[in-house]
Structure 1
């Protein structure tokens, strides 16, 4: 069993590592992978059909620990520790608090503190906990008999486990990386122009490391930006990937679909932003953006952090000139998108994503549909795995587009 220290409302860990509330899912998995010789048999539990309806859980089956991550922001929300302790315990509380401790359905008693709660069960329910009302100043003394076993402990933020939320990412989790709080797609009446990213980084005060704090900044990048433009805005990528072939040509004019590339385009992979940026191999200018949703059950799950994007749209209503503003988000489903943008004219491109070491994809294929200079990769549960944005890149002699694009939308999916 693991020997871990508990800090209420904060963390569970030891001198080598800790699971901190607010920690991104990818960091927790990285810890488990690094210590795989000590922490074994880890299960990833999620809802396959409705991944946003239930927390995403890392279950350490041999160590009696469950890590619950918020299904939306994928940050650590609750830590559950299962264990058994025998002995005698005395707790001072109000009589109303004592009555609220007992859960008849589970046959458990709950002791709740700020950021910490214990659930315990008796060997024999014929011997119930005893308390003396009006022990002192309206308090009662709760005496739990010998044989009571603590079944589990919850670590969370706030006073109420049922209403707790994943906190913001703590400073210790930044590790020199930049994270995207949200990504807005900039566009005109024709299609996407680029991205506006709201970034979070752990900066330091001048010369004082103890002044470290989270800083927020905005950066915009556009189709046709150079490598230097992107590096200046976002910093160095985590990885540079050179394409071997182009499987995503469903947006190309038909005569050009079979024309082989003379040289390889390349991606800047920003894993903590959930964004890939494709550069043309000849001009070295941006030609595509790929936004990743990081849903469990996808082949690339846990490679990228979730990109919380918003894509503004202007939808025509009827035959007149009336329009309606709406927004596509990371959480929009494919059937909702088709209701707004219409059904694709061409058949989808099927992505199998099998590796050379393992020729089978346990998660199944995904389907790529092209609409309005966007390619939606759709999972079998109707959620969007990624969105690829493309457009005609400007030449080096053209100025960068004005950042004043479509007005902010009024509704969202």
Structure 2
């Protein structure tokens, strides 16, 4: 953390109680939580929490602590949590107040962050903020016109799944002229056919920790409604979102065949392999903890 011209925290500068107090200056006595063994020190807009060893809990009663807090053996506790929040007086947070209500700052009008993307399997994506429709078979020009310039363009050098394709009559070679449009800031990729230059797949990312692509994309806030109509699906709860785990997906779509195992090698992905399960028009990449990593949309 940087405050003014100084940095605190990390391996080079531990955020001890004494260091925090020296950097941010005097403040009111904090609050000691006996059940958790945590002493919280508050400043306008942020707070620091410090674990207190059992042998020193007697010196941490509210209003009786001499600041900065140092123990009798000359040591001082190290920060275990930093919270940053709205310091407005009507939020009941700030100097000497418990954080019983902290609101998320409102998004700017038209912001695309966490925009809902409604999926019609085998047909199209619908972006709810901008009102754009993106269908299979769209050209690169269509995509640029509807959702703007991609963050990156990545050629697909190897098609490892071509051997499983029964409908592709082209020679079975791993060399591939297909290419991706990467929209990292919106959480998805579009795969174009290298010969026809038409969109043939959409890859939507959940950005869950424990996946090789974590923090490369923001979360795509997709909604897949399953049923005869979207209204019926929403009423019946037959929806799949980034928060839906694999067991819940099977409750909505039913059981499927065995998984294909996908791995990028232990060197590039220390979390190990993932499992790809296929249904009509959609494939789910599932991590070992049962969370969805990506969904790939295509036309069967």
TM bracket, shorter-chain basis: 0.7 to 0.9
Greater share of residues in strand:
1
Per-residue deviation, 1:146: 6.1
Contact 2:46 2:85 in 1 (8 A): yes
1:42-53 alignment runs, 5 A limit: none
Q: Would the alpha carbon gap of residues 128 and 340 (structure 1) be closer, same or farther in structure 2, given more than 3 Å must change? A: closer
Per-residue deviation, 1:119: 5.3
**C-alpha distance in 1 between matches for 2:107 and 2:10:** 22
SS of corresponding position for 1:367? strand
How well do the aligned residues superpose, as a CA RMSD in angstroms?
4.1
The residue that corresponds to 2:239 in the other structure is: 327
The residue that corresponds to 1:20 in the other structure is: none
The residue that corresponds to 1:278 in the other structure is: 191
Per-residue deviation, 1:222: 0.7
What CA deviation, in whole Å up to 9, does each residue of 1:132-186 have, x standing for no partner? xxxxxxxxxx575466358556322342535435545689xxxxx964522111x
**C-alpha distance in 2 between matches for 1:334 and 1:127:** 49
**C-alpha distance in 2 between matches for 1:251 and 1:61:** 49
Q: Would the alpha carbon gap of residues 180 and 256 (structure 1) be closer, same or farther in structure 2, given more than 3 Å must change? A: farther
State which of 26, 31, 49 in structure 2 corresponds to 1:101: 31
State which of 261, 264, 277 in structure 2 corresponds to 1:350: 261
**C-alpha distance in 2 between matches for 1:146 and 1:82:** 13
**C-alpha distance in 1 between matches for 2:139 and 2:152:** 17
The residue that corresponds to 1:47 in the other structure is: none
Q: Would the alpha carbon gap of residues 286 and 254 (structure 1) be closer, same or farther in structure 2, given more than 3 Å must change? A: closer
State which of 127, 130, 144 in structure 2 corresponds to 1:197: 127
Contact 1:180 1:307 in 2 (8 A): yes
1:9-408 alignment runs, 5 A limit: 60-64=10-14, 82-84=16-18, 91=28, 101-106=31-36, 110=40, 112=42, 115-117=45-47, 144-145=65-66, 148-149=69-70, 152=79, 154-157=83-86, 158=91, 159=93, 160-161=98-99, 163-164=101-102, 166-168=104-106, 179-185=113-119, 187=120, 191-199=121-129, 217-249=130-162, 252-253=165-166, 259-260=172-173, 263-314=176-227, 326-345=238-257, 347-354=258-265, 359=267, 361-391=269-299
Q: TM-score, normalised by structure 2?
A: 0.73
**C-alpha distance in 1 between matches for 2:298 and 2:204:** 12
Q: Would the alpha carbon gap of residues 325 and 314 (structure 1) be closer, same or farther in structure 2, given more than 3 Å must change? A: farther
Q: Would the alpha carbon gap of residues 256 and 370 (structure 1) be closer, same or farther in structure 2, given more than 3 Å must change? A: farther
Q: Would the alpha carbon gap of residues 288 and 250 (structure 1) be closer, same or farther in structure 2, given more than 3 Å must change? A: farther
Contact 1:293 1:384 in 2 (8 A): yes
Per-residue deviation, 1:127: 6.1
The residue that corresponds to 2:3 in the other structure is: 4
Per-residue deviation, 1:339: 2.0
Q: TM-score, normalised by structure 1?
A: 0.55
Contact 2:179 2:194 in 1 (8 A): yes
What CA deviation, in whole Å up to 9, does each residue of 1:376-408 have, x standing for no partner? 11111111110000126xxxxxxxxxxxxxxxx
More displaced stretch, 300-309 vs 119-128: 119-128
Per-residue deviation, 1:247: 2.7
Greater share of residues in helix:
2
Paired residues, number: 272
**C-alpha distance in 1 between matches for 2:163 and 2:253:** 17
Contact 2:59 2:65 in 1 (8 A): no
Structure 2, gaps ≥5 residues long: 71-75, 230-234
